[in-house]
Chains A and B, each alone.
Chain A
């Protein structure tokens, strides 16, 4: 272990072990184990669940929810919520197709405009929240209605389709296989090097001693890389998955290494304490709504591209899936707790159930029942955890 050298004296190195951090690692691992168990169960049932083709589909299917649940996780951590994401998704998709098909805008100009529009809507909702002190539940419940209405009005209640090959590629294309393999290898390499630098003396830094959970998580990372090679080695990485990976990596990095990410958690833990510590709580909350609006617009582009059309009833129930994924992934309804990687695993678990039941030919109404039960179970666990004596 390192020694922390101070001016004029040397003090023992701080103890860098935390039961809370370790418990968080075990929670993630539990979610993964449950998800894999679900995969195995569906594979036994359907015989085709665990195949490169189906797991590739699953990755793309979860990407829409994953983008939304990432933003919602930070909002929930900061004690806020956004119920309007499905309606904004529809409005943004409709506007994108109107710009490209009706007004002949270019693909990238349209995408930029739609992301800007999403951020503007987020800014309006955030401003109503922080300046007029209207609870975010109410502000975004109103958004749930008026944004859906905007979608119907702008589209004339018609589904516009056919935005061209470039736009279609965003949701349906893949990177060439060699580049995909290179990316998987590079990410795995960076992860392994970081682990070795932190937990072993092999590469110089060595700040901590590895515990069982650290070794298990390393094995999990390597296993995920092997799975990615098996699933995407031949077909290539789908663009939606890459977008999710970039968003998730950035947000997870920011949560750990950037002041803003730290402030999101501080605001969620105790807004008054955060304010007294000099944090501009209003600016943090407003920024989160802007981020949520931007992410919703990106999800709209990916979803509309996958469908190659923009039906105004897009994303009717997706807010339910996104909030459920976040809570299943460990985000607390009380604020202050939750991670983007956890929420992504929650999204993967939910997408797996939907996908598996679909493969098994089960009526989609049962899927809704199961989703509801899963959400109740996750919330019940959250409530019981919060009630534990400190």
Chain B
């Protein structure tokens, strides 16, 4: 059973506060005492080489993988016995690299999958409220300025960029506190990725915190407010995007020429 306790202390509670988070897979230490925070309405990038611990970190925050030790607080609620459903119920959404969409069903159904809006029919049975879901999906996509063909078209009919946008729209459809994005532009060209990054940049205006993980350093630099660099399962550096270059990030990721860098 999940239990939560309101974390006390901070004047402004961050959307995510992680302390000394560790995960061991047998003898392998995937993360070795990670500390970070993400404020509400902030986009924070996470970069690092393969094996640096990014995926494990994301999965622990999303409740997919339980940490070995350490603490995670979501919007001030300390997570114990994390699960994906607990995380989701407390406003954590994840946009997986493979998008986790069901290609055979329509856009609107994908957005509401698992959280359908229902109403009672004339026999008193709880049935899907198609009209309400269509109206809400349309409203959501309009607000995000996402242009798609009919909401009744199956996802398989969409382009890669459009599919990404549906996945992101789904992640923000239920007033999340935090959206975790795993390589959102990996499958897209630079041209098709730009509208998606623009959409991500608009999310903070809805009060959403974004944890953005990407190998494309230019995307991270152009989108995130702050960046954490992971190396060997630990935070090696924390930098502001506006004060950093791709070369700096590469050096930090490789551990060359820079030591632990603090924010000015």
Contact = CB atoms under 8 A, between A and B. Distances in A.
Interface of A: 4-6, 11-21, 207, 256-259, 262, 265-266, 268-270, 272-274, 276-279, 336-337, 390
B113 interface: yes
Nearest to A13: B138
A143 to B, nearest CB: 28
A258 B153 CA distance: 19
A14 B135 contact: yes
Main secondary structure of the interface of A (DSSP, over half): mixed
B203 to A, nearest CB: 19
Contacts of A13: 138
A12 B141 CA distance: 11
A254 to B, nearest CB: 9
B127 interface: yes
Point out which of A13, A262, A268 has the most chain B C-beta atoms below 10 A from its C-beta: A262
Contacts of A257: 121, 127-128, 130
Interface of B: 84-85, 88, 94, 96, 98-106, 108-109, 113-116, 118, 121, 125, 127-128, 130-131, 134-135, 137-139, 142, 149-154, 156-157
B150 A277 contact: no
In the complex, which of the residues A12, A279, A336 has the most CB atoms of chain B within 10 Å of its own CB atom?
A336
Given A257-B127, A277-B114, A4 B134 contact: yes
Contacts of B94: 276
Nearest to A3: B135
A4 B128 contact: no
B104 A262 contact: no
Contacts of B127: 257-258
A269 B104 contact: yes
Contacts of A14: 108, 134-135, 137-138, 150-151
Top 8 nearest A-B pairs (CB, nearest first) are A269-B102, A269-B104, A336-B104, A278-B114, A18-B152, A4-B135, A14-B138, A277-B114
B109 A262 contact: yes
Contacts of B134: 4, 14, 16
Contacts of A279: 113-114
12 contacts: A12-B138, A16-B151, A17-B150, A257-B121, A262-B113, A265-B105, A266-B109, A269-B102, A274-B113, A276-B84, A278-B85, A337-B104
A6 B139 contact: yes
A107 B227 CA distance: 73
Report which residue of B116, B118, B152 has the largest number of chain A beta carbons within 10 angstroms of its beta carbon.
B152
A265 B85 contact: no
Contacts of B101: 270, 273
Contact of B153 (A12, A19, A274): A19
Nearest to A11: B142
B153 to A, nearest CB: 5
Given A4-B134, A269-B103, 10 more contacts: A19-B157, A20-B157, A257-B127, A257-B128, A259-B128, A266-B105, A273-B98, A276-B96, A278-B88, A336-B103
Contacts of A19: 153, 157
Choose among B114, B131, B156 the residue with the greatest number of A CB atoms under 10 Å from its CB: B114
A15 B152 CA distance: 8
Contact of A272 (B100, B115, B121): B100
Contacts of B103: 269-270, 336
A20 B154 contact: yes
A276 B118 CA distance: 21
A262 B105 contact: yes
A173 B121 CA distance: 33
A279 B113 CA distance: 8
A21 B139 CA distance: 22
Contact of B156 (A12, A258, A278, A390): A390
B153 A276 contact: no
A234 B116 CA distance: 46
Given A11-B138, A14-B138, A258 B102 contact: no
A256 B113 CA distance: 13
Contact of B106 (A18, A278, A336): A18
Contact of A4 (B99, B138, B154): B138
B102 A270 contact: yes
A279 B112 CA distance: 12
B95 to A, nearest CB: 11
Contacts of B142: 11-12
B104 A16 contact: no
A14 B142 CA distance: 10
A259 B157 contact: no
A15 B150 CA distance: 5
A22 to B, nearest CB: 10
Contacts of B125: 258
Nearest to A5: B135
B47 to A, nearest CB: 24
Contacts of B149: 15
Contacts of B106: 18, 20
A276 B87 CA distance: 12
Given A276-B84, A337-B104, A16 B152 contact: yes
A256 B130 CA distance: 9
Contacts of A17: 150, 152
A279 B88 CA distance: 13
Q: A265, A274, A277 — which one has the most chain B CB atoms within 10 A of its CB?
A: A277
A262 B151 contact: no
A271 to B, nearest CB: 9
A277 B100 contact: yes
Contacts of A15: 149-151
Nearest to B138: A14
Nearest to B101: A273
A375 to B, nearest CB: 23
